[in-house]
Each structure stands twice: as C-alpha cells, then as structure tokens.
Amino acid sequence: MGLDLSVIARNSNVLWGGFLTTLKLFGIAFAGGLPLGILLGLGRLSSKKWIYYPVSAYINFIRNVPLLMVVFWIYFALPIVTGHNIGRLPSAVIAFIVFEATYFGEIIRAGFQSVKKGEMQAAYSTGLTYTQVTRYILIPIGLRRVIPSLMTQTIVIFQDTSLAYVIGLREFVRASTVVNAREVRSLEIFGFVALVYLVICLAGSTISNRLEEEGE
Amino acid sequence: MKSRGQLPALHFDKMGYQFDWGVIIREPYWRWLLNGFIKTLILGSISWGIALFLGIIVGTIRTLPAKTARAIGKAYVEFFRNIPLLVQLFFWYYVIPPMIGQWFNRMESLPWIMAIFGLGVYTASRVAEHFRSGLNSVPKGQRQAGLSTGLSNWQLYRYIIIPYGFRLMIPPITTEFLTIFKNSALAMTIGVLELSGQSYKIGTWTFHSFESITAAVIGYLLIGLSIIGFMGWVEEKLKIPGLVGRG
C-alpha cells in the first residue's frame, strides 16, 4: 500500500473549497448564535413568566435533541414553512444558529448569574434602566466571566459544522468523502481531514486554557 | 398528485405540503421506528460501558503523580476531543478495518462494531475530563488524611478518592450519558440503522421526512427525559448525608 500524500495535493481545490464552506458556515453560525444566545440567557433570567417559560422550553427541547436531527429537521421543515427550496447552506446555517444559541444561552446565563447582586442594585439605584443595566453592566461583566467556556463551545461549533455533511452540503468532510470516492485513499484523505481539525481545535483550546488561567 | 421519485426535500410545489402523520404508525414504518429506537438504546448503552470504563482509567491516569502517565492521559483526551466525531467514525469505519484484514472488513456487523467502538472511545475522553476534575475536587486534606492513616496509593483511590469524587461527578456524567445517545445518531452516517437512520429511511421511502424525523426527535426526547429522571434518583440514593448539597 504505502502512503500516497500526493492525493491531497491533487485534490487540493476540492478540499480547499470544502474548507471554505466550513469556515463560512462556522462564521455565520457563530455570529448568529452568540447574539441569540445572549437573548436566551437574558430570557432565562427574566422575571416575566411569558418570557421565561417559552425560552426555557425552547432551550430544554433543543438540548435534548441530537444536532444531527435538528439539521435534518430544519432542512425538511423550511420548504414546508416557506414554500420554497431554500438550499443547503442557508438551511444548515439556520439549524446551527438555532442549536448552538441554546448552548451559548446556558453558558451566558451562568455568566449573568455570577454578576454580584450589589453591582446590579448599585446600577439601578443610580437611575439606570433595565436596558442600560443590561448593556453597561450585565453583558460586559457577565460575558467576560464566561469567555473560556464560550471559547470551548466555539471550538465545539467548529467541529459540529461537519454535521452539515448529512444534508449533502459540501463542507470539508463532505468534500473529503467526494475525493475519497474517486481516489479510494481513505487513510490519507481522512487522516488529513482529522489533522486539520486537530491542529485548529488544539490551537483554539490552548488559547482558551490560557485565558482561563489569566482569569484566575 | 405530486410527482414521485425526487429527493424528499425537493418535492414541493405551489400547492404546499400535504402532511401525512400516518406514516409514523402505518405498517411497516412504526416497526422500523421501534426497531431503530431499540437499536439506539443498545448502541448508546454498550458504548457507554466502554466510555465509562476507559474514561475512568484515563481520568485516573491524569491525576497520578508520574508526569509521563499524565502526559499520556492528556494526549488521549486532546486527540479525541479535537477531532469531530463524524471524522473519527469515518476513520474507524473506512480506514481501520482494511488494515486489520479482509475477513474483518467484510463482516456484516462492521458498522455496528465500529460505531460502538468509535462512540465509546470518543466519549471516554469526555468522561475522563469529568472524572479528573471530580477527583481533583476532593479536598487535599482528605488525601493527606488517608495517606497518614497508612493507606497505600491504591487503597487511597479505592476507599477515599473514587467514592468521594464519584458523587461530585454525577451531574456532569449525567450530561455525558445523555450526550452519548444524542451522538449515537451519527452512527447512521456509517450505515447503522438506529433511530435517526430508520427515520431517514422512512423519509426516502414515503417522501414524508418531516413527519418521520419528528417521530425520531420525540424518541430522543423520551430517552433524554428518562435519563434525567433516572440519574436524579441515583444521585438521591448515593447522597452522603450532610455532604455535597448539590440539589
């Protein structure tokens, strides 16, 4: 057998294209998931029942369902709702935002809860409104406390994007299976894919660990 | 009626989608779903056995005094945590079997074996982390007290650190136990017809993927809620009175 690494070079354009799709998916999912997560985190701490219960139900529902099923579900549900076939990438993006926001939401809630009561009371007593307290106290202080956990979750999202594979979106893993179907060099191809993920995620978790140590 | 023979998601026109929830309970589909549900339970449970066994070993290694041992444990965890499970499953399914031999590669139950194994060794890395942090959260004084009464290292772990630390791990381990069933859905990508695989198959047969996927989602919810209930009961049973007021 022997290793034939030229298979990577020969198919670099397909793999690179897949990798770019992965990055795109990851970037949009993160950019959409974090703000929604902040809203969910706020909702989980809301004293208004009509906010708290629906938000909690949404979070508990999504967190008990496999991501793979959410990806499928949204993919099959969207055409029913919209009446159009909206394509794989938008569908995957929505699925990841809907899913990852719940994980972000729970992390962020913990961050908000770590803000001391006194700080909040002090803010209110200076005459700030709820929105101002949220904007200037809760989010800056609470979010900063959970940056390491958010980083870890971000790495998880990066890995999770590989699941768009199941709806046929040609992201990195799908692209590699396309190449493998042609070349039948699974060791080199999947080994390469694993290595790329490993290097990126290791770098990410090293940064996250360092942030955590600095925080303590 | 709508044309058949297209991909399920593409088969929409201006008339809208006709729901048919009957596919969930009709023959033979309800049998497929039930079969998939049971397979998911089996897949998750056996992998969980592997994950717990390996995870406890790796997690314990990570708390040992020897530096090399800790490095090996850390390498294991970092390796499995930083590669997507999907890629790992492909590796176990497409790369490893031909290396072992043709007799193995041609085994009928190969997807099953590799899914259980892959899911197990992956989850072990996560269990190991919870186990390690559980063991590390046992106060130093307990460790010193144990050693000063003349316990050996093995006895220290067996009688003090593991029983004590294990209780602290119950909440995160519960989450992991839930996660393994959710992650087991990935087994469909290497050809295991568990709950998600069956629901997908029903979708391709009936063009009612939305309904069949919904049924599977309910199946996963059932599993998740039962585990939460069960582990709450376990936590209550194992509680040391006056200690660990976790809830």
Residue B9 lies in a domain: no
At B6, is the pLDDT very low, low, confident or very high (cuts 50, 70, 90)? very low
Angle at A18 between CA A14 and CA A22, to 5 degrees: 170
Interface mutation target, options A96, A152, A162, chain B, most CBs of B under 10 Å: A162
Structure tokens at B166: 């294990």
Interface mutation target, options A74, A76, A153, chain B, most CBs of B under 10 Å: A76
Distance CA A188, CA A3 (A): 7
At A97, is the pLDDT very low, low, confident or very high (cuts 50, 70, 90)? very high
pLDDT(B9) > 50:
no
Distance CA B202, CA A72 (A): 13
How confident is the model over B33-73, as pLDDT tens digits? 999 999 999 999 999 999 999 999 999 899 888 899 999 99
What pLDDT shows up at residue A216? 61
Question: What is the sign, positive or negative, of the torsion defined by CA atoms of B51, B57, B58, B59?
Answer: positive
Residue B59 lies in a domain: yes
Contact between B213 and A73 using a beta-carbon 8 Å cutoff: yes
How confident is the model over A4-52, as pLDDT tens digits? 888 898 999 999 999 999 999 999 999 999 999 999 999 999 889 999 9
Residue A165 lies in a domain: yes
Domain count, chain B: 1
Where in the sequence is the domain holding A41, given as residue range(s)?
6-215
Please check whether residue B24 touches A, CB under 8 A. Answer: no
Residue B224 lies in a domain: yes
Residues of B in contact with A173 (CB under 8 A): 84, 86-87, 90
Residue with tokens 């809301």: A46
For residues A155-186, one letter each, b for 16 or more C-beta atoms within 10 angstroms of the residue's C-beta and e for the rest, the string is bbbbbbbbbbbbbebbbbbbbbbbbbeeeebb
At B165, is the pLDDT very low, low, confident or very high (cuts 50, 70, 90)? confident
Residue A1 lies in a domain: no
What pLDDT shows up at residue A42? 94
Where in the sequence is the domain holding B47, given as residue range(s)?
22-238
H-state helical runs in chain A = 6-10, 12-44, 49-63, 67-82, 88-113, 117-125, 130-133, 143-145, 147-160, 172-183, 186-215
Residue B243 lies in a domain: no
Residue A200 lies in a domain: yes
What pLDDT shows up at residue A40? 96
How confident is the model over A170-185, as pLDDT tens digits? 999 999 999 999 988 9
Query: Nearest-CA distance from B87 to chain A in Å?
Result: 6
How confident is the model over B134-163, as pLDDT tens digits? 888 888 888 889 989 999 988 988 888 888
ipTM score for this prediction: 0.91
Residue A85 lies in a domain: yes
Residue A95's domain is classified under what CATH number?
1.10.3720.10
Query: Nearest-CA distance from A162 to chain B in Å?
Result: 7
Residue of A nearest to B88 (CA): A194
Residue of B nearest to A157 (CA): B84
| B99 CB-contact burial (10 Å; exposed 0-12 / middle 13-18 / buried 19+) | exposed
pLDDT(A158) > 60:
yes
Residue A108 lies in a domain: yes
Distance CA B155, CA B143 (A): 11
HSE toward the beta carbon, residue B27, CA cutoff 13 A: 0
Residue B129 lies in a domain: yes
**Which pairs count as long-range contacts for B177-180, CB under 8 Å and 24+ apart, including other chains?**
B177/B48, B177/B227, B177/B231, B178/A64, B178/B224, B178/B227, B178/B228, B179/B123, B179/B126, B180/B44, B180/B47, B180/B48, B180/B51, B180/B119, B180/B123
Contact between B225 and A155 using a beta-carbon 8 Å cutoff: no
Query: Nearest-CA distance from A160 to chain B in Å?
Result: 7
A75-85: average pLDDT: 86
Residue A49 lies in a domain: yes
What pLDDT shows up at residue A3? 83
Residue B154's domain is classified under what CATH number?
1.10.3720.10
Residue B3 lies in a domain: no
Residue A176 lies in a domain: yes
Residue of A nearest to B226 (CA): A64
How confident is the model over A184-198, as pLDDT tens digits? 899 999 999 999 999
What pLDDT shows up at residue B246? 44
Domain count, chain A: 1
Residue B7 lies in a domain: no
Residue A112 lies in a domain: yes
Query: Is-contact B220 B38, C-beta < 8 A?
Result: no
What pLDDT shows up at residue B238? 80
Residue B2 lies in a domain: no
Contact between A79 and B87 using a beta-carbon 8 Å cutoff: no
